[in-house]
């Protein structure tokens, strides 16, 4: 049993006064039950003082079993529990939490042998390589690394790094066979790693702007997922694993996004003119065509309770007034039964939106939203159906990287690093820039929370 704090102790807080009250209660308990309780009380004191020093943290590992954990991609004896620690065996691969986490502070202790290699997966799905589909915080014994056990390593492959993305400072590890402490903070786009009290990595993922890295690591944009140990059959021990979940309260603008929709009117938007017709027009004809398109936009696209709504019966898209090249787009949308819509990237159709639930479900609708509908030479369907029921809000996160696209629907990666084909001019490269467009398809559709973050060209 642990001496739980009563109302007086809780009121005293978690400082020295609260500890003094608990010590007084423990002394009274020892006098009542005798010296045989001394060893047990010492364990209680250790546990209680740890709780006092770490408010908000809860254990992820109970010290006795792998309850709350699951083996993925490896045998059930890949990780064992011994002497209050999780041990990666010679058959160890991935061991993930059954729960998922978004923003958190994770603390744990670990012990390496010479040449040990492992990793901590964060915001990871259970499928695929967590280093790319989520993020991997590298665990690597540096002595063997510097001796060349794994050949020449890039800076972002050493201990504490976001594997393949951001390099950590070296030199914080204790010698093999000794226990180390580590803390991983994941707060929105902010990732920080401390090893043995030293900050070895402190990075804003919004500053990672190498398009090739972003193409290879879509997991950088995943908002939540599992925590896990990513084994390679090397001996590594983990203990005292605990976590404190954080509430995400900051708006997208903190991460470098700008709003596309002000929630009040159609400022920043224009009506759609068919680009094939536009290419044939004189400047005078273009001005007249744009005026007609803007008038139709104002008639059919409306702002209702802070939400963009299409109420027309035609195909008059809503287009941003300016063009974009490479970007990250976030938006929320919902549809009515049998509605059909989409999002054009650089003026090219489209990331598909439609109803995959209302019968009859056919013609591709059964696959769900998020696919690159007009692709012919490359995949057009999403990898999985991630839509929420008709009438509920869905959330897209779309990355336009060169001619490649990632699409997350409700935090599920449904399109990965797939070329978007030029629908308007088959066989020609995708335009280098163009508007972001909300497709009208003669059915009602609602949009809100439209944000964009531009990336390097």
Using CA atoms, how far apart are residues 54 and 8, in angstroms rounded to an integer?
A: 19
Beta strands of 212-300 (E only): which ranges?
226-230, 236-245, 258-259, 269-271
Q: Which residues contact 215 (CB under 8 A, 6 or more apart)?
A: 401, 402, 404, 406, 417
Element (H, E) at 416: strand 412-419
How much of the chain, in percent, has pLDDT values that exceed 90? 85
Whether 45 maps to a domain, the answer reads yes
In this structure, of 215-219, 250-254, 316-320, the range with the lowest mean pLDDT score is: 250-254
Whether 64 maps to a domain, the answer reads no
Q: Are residues 201 and 311 in the same domain?
A: no
* Residue carrying the six token digits 């364990």: 43
* Residue carrying the six token digits 């088959």: 426
| 26 vs 364, more confident | 364
Q: Which residues contact 417 (CB under 8 A, 6 or more apart)?
A: 215, 216, 218, 401, 404, 405, 406
Q: Are residues 40 and 114 in the same domain?
A: no
Q: Are residues 106 and 215 in the same domain?
A: yes
Q: Are residues 73 and 208 in the same domain?
A: yes
Whether 171 maps to a domain, the answer reads yes
Instruction: Tell me what the mean pLDDT of segment 387-394 comes to.
Output: 98
Q: How confident is the model at residue 102 (pLDDT cuts 50, 70, 90)?
A: very high
- CB-based contact 405:390 (threshold 8 Å): no
Q: How confident is the model at residue 10 (pLDDT cuts 50, 70, 90)?
A: very low
Q: What is the pTM of this model?
A: 0.88
Buried residues in 128-140 as b, exposed as e (16+ CB within 10 A): ebbbbbbbbbbbb
Whether 1 maps to a domain, the answer reads no
Using CA atoms, how far apart are residues 274 and 260, in angstroms rounded to an integer?
A: 22
Distance of CA 173 to the CA centre of its chain: 28
Per-residue model confidence (pLDDT) at position 127: 96
- CB-based contact 339:310 (threshold 8 Å): no
pLDDT at 436 over 80: yes
CA distances from 136 to 76, 162, 165, 226 (A): 22, 6, 9, 11
- CB-based contact 367:381 (threshold 8 Å): yes
Per the structure, the count of domains in the chain is 3
Instruction: Tell me what the mean pLDDT of segment 412-437 comes to.
Output: 97
Q: Which of 231, 247, 263 is the last residue of a domain?
A: 247
Q: Which of 216, 247, 278 is the last residue of a domain?
A: 247
- CB-based contact 20:65 (threshold 8 Å): no
Can you give the length of the chain in residues? 457
HSE on the CB side for 270, CA within 13 Å?
16
Q: Are residues 22 and 97 in the same domain?
A: no
Other C-beta atoms closer than 10 Å to the C-beta of 201 total 22
Instruction: Tell me what the mean pLDDT of segment 164-171 comes to.
Output: 98
β pairing state of 58-59 and 236-245: antiparallel
Q: Are residues 227 and 90 in the same domain?
A: yes
* Residue carrying the six token digits 């007034």: 321
Instruction: Tell me what the mean pLDDT of segment 26-35 comes to.
Output: 48
Q: Which domain holds residue 375?
A: 254-454
Per-residue model confidence (pLDDT) at position 255: 83
| 41 vs 98, more confident | 98
CATH of residue 443's domain is: 2.60.120.560
Residue 397 — left, alpha, or beta (φ > 0 → left; ψ -120 to 50 → alpha)?
A: beta
Q: Are residues 259 and 243 in the same domain?
A: no
Instruction: Tell me what the mean pLDDT of segment 357-375 comes to.
Output: 95
Q: Are residues 332 and 284 in the same domain?
A: yes
Q: Are residues 83 and 48 in the same domain?
A: no
Q: How confident is the model at residue 54 (pLDDT cuts 50, 70, 90)?
A: very high
Instruction: Tell me what the mean pLDDT of segment 189-198 comes to.
Output: 98
Instruction: Tell me what the mean pLDDT of segment 225-236 comes to.
Output: 97
Mean pLDDT of all residues belonging to the chain: 90
pLDDT at 286 over 60: yes
From the list 345, 304, 330, 337, the residue with the least C-alpha distance to 395 is 330
Q: Are residues 375 and 419 in the same domain?
A: yes
Q: Are residues 359 and 447 in the same domain?
A: yes
Whether 2 maps to a domain, the answer reads no
Per-residue model confidence (pLDDT) at position 252: 75
Complete DSSP assignment for 98-134? SS-BSSEEEEEEEEE-TT-EEEEEEEE-SSS-HHHHS
Instruction: Tell me what the mean pLDDT of segment 232-243 comes to.
Output: 98
Whether 60 maps to a domain, the answer reads no
Per-residue model confidence (pLDDT) at position 248: 78
Q: Which of 201, 232, 247 is the last residue of a domain?
A: 247
Q: Which residues pair with 162 in a beta bridge?
A: 137, 166
Q: Using CA of residue 305, residue 307, residue 308, residue 312, what is the dihedral sign?
A: negative
Q: Are residues 45 and 75 in the same domain?
A: no
Per-residue model confidence (pLDDT) at position 251: 72
């Amino acid at each position: 049993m642990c001496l739980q704090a009563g109302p007086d102790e809780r009121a005293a807080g978690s400082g020295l006064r609260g500890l003094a009250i608990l010590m007084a209660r423990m002394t009274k308990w020892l006098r009542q039950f005798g010296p045989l309780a001394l060893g047990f009380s010492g364990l209680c004191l250790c546990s209680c003082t740890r709780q006092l020093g770490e408010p908000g943290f809860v254990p992820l590992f109970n010290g006795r079993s792998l309850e709350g954990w699951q083996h993925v991609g490896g045998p059930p004896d890949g990780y064992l529990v011994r002497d209050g620690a999780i041990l990666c065996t010679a058959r160890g691969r991935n061991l993930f939490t059954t729960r998922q986490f978004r923003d958190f502070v994770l603390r744990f202790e670990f012990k390496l042998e010479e040449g040990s290699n492992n990793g901590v997966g964060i915001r990871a799905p259970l499928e695929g390589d967590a280093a790319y589909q989520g993020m991997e915080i590298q665990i690597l014994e540096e002595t063997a690394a510097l001796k060349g056990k794994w050949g020449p390593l890039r800076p972002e492959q050493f201990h504490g790094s976001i594997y393949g993305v951001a390099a950590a400072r070296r030199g914080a590890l204790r010698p093999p066979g000794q226990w180390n402490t580590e803390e991983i903070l994941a707060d929105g786009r902010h990732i920080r790693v401390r090893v043995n009290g030293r900050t070895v990595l402190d990075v804003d993922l919004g500053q990672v702007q190498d398009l090739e890295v972003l193409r290879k690591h879509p997991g950088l944009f995943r908002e939540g997922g599992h925590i896990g140990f990513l084994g390679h059959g090397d001996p590594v021990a983990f203990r005292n694993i605990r976590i404190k979940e954080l509430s995400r309260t900051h708006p997208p603008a903190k991460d470098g996004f700008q709003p596309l929709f002000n929630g009040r009117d159609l400022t920043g938007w224009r009506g759609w003119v068919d680009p094939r017709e536009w290419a044939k027009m004189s400047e005078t004809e273009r001005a007249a065509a744009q005026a007609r398109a803007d008038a139709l936009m104002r008639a059919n696209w409306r702002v209702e309770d802070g939400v963009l709504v299409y109420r027309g019966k035609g195909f008059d898209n809503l287009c941003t007034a300016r063009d974009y090249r490479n970007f990250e787009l976030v938006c929320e949308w919902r549809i009515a039964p049998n509605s059909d819509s989409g999002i054009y990237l650089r003026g090219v159709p489209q990331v598909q939106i439609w109803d995959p639930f209302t019968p009859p479900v056919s013609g591709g609708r059964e696959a769900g939203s998020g696919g690159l509908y007009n692709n012919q030479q490359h995949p057009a369907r999403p990898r999985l159906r991630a839509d929420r029921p008709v009438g509920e809000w869905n959330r897209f996160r779309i990355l336009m990287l060169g001619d490649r696209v990632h699409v997350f629907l409700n935090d599920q990666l449904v399109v990965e690093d797939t070329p978007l084909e030029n629908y308007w001019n088959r066989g020609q490269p995708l335009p280098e820039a163009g508007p972001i467009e909300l497709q009208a398809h003669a059915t009602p559709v609602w949009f809100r929370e439209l944000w964009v973050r531009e990336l390097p060209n």
